[in-house]
Amino acid sequence: MTDQENQHLLRRIAEALERLSPDATIASDFAAADAYVWHADRASLEPVADVNRIDLALLVGIDRARDTLLDNTRRFAAGYPANNALLWGARGMGKSSLVKAVHAAVLEESGVKAGGKNGGGPALIEIHREDIGSLPRLLPLLRGADRRFILFCDDLSFDGQDASFKSLKALLEGGIEGRPDNV
């Protein structure tokens, strides 16, 4: 083989290896936004510049849930222990709107303008239901960050033998490593 043929062959081999190798985990800029979407397929967080949310005062008829979630989120943002929250109810009852509105209210109370690129206050991370099994890949990215994170999964439901339930249960109950204090 000539040198040119060898170079061509080596280039083809290198390109094939690149296609086969998994994408490197993309380091996130945790000051890029106050909300992110987790993409499990590429192990990265995508900043959300403009979160689709409404003002907390516009949510009516859910005072008890609002007050409980707001108090819990304030405690978490201040560095105190907080509880995991499960909001349940019929479609259109405002569960997702409440989570996003409470997040914005807590940011505002801490002097952070929602939607800004400042990295202050807790960040909201949306994780899709089908990506729950990837949480063990997300948590190490968040563990060392100098910021608190609220994981938000909209439309959470499970079948009888759903493996995602077991993944979420292990995360909530804690394994050997445990969930980071900032999540």
Q: Is the pLDDT of residue 4 over 90?
A: no
Band (pLDDT 50/70/90 cuts) for residue 9 is: confident
What pairing do the DSSP bridges indicate for beta strands 123-126 and 35-39? parallel
Q: What is the 3-state secondary structure (H, E, C) of 99-135?
A: HHHHHHHHHHHCCCCCCCCCCCCCEEEECCHHHHHHH
Say how many C-beta atoms besides its own lie within 10 A of residue 154's C-beta.
13
Q: Is the pLDDT of residue 26 over 60?
A: no
User: Is the Cβ–Cβ distance between 106 and 121 less than 8 Å?
Assistant: yes
What is the reported pLDDT for 3? 81
Mean pLDDT of the chain: 84
Q: Is the pLDDT of residue 162 over 80?
A: no
Band (pLDDT 50/70/90 cuts) for residue 98 is: very high
Q: Is the pLDDT of residue 27 over 60?
A: no
Q: pTM of this prediction?
A: 0.78
Read off the pLDDT of residues 100-115 as tens digits, 9 standing for 90 and up: 999 999 999 987 766 6
Comparing 80 with 10, the larger pLDDT belongs to 80
d(CA 178, CA 171): 7
What is the reported pLDDT for 25? 47
Q: Is 47 exposed, middle or buried (0-12, 13-18, 19+ CB in 10 A)?
A: middle
Read off the pLDDT of residues 125-141 as tens digits, 9 standing for 90 and up: 999 988 988 988 999 99
Q: For the chain, what percent of residues have pLDDT higher than 70?
A: 80
Q: Is the pLDDT of residue 89 over 80?
A: yes
Q: Is the pLDDT of residue 2 over 70?
A: yes
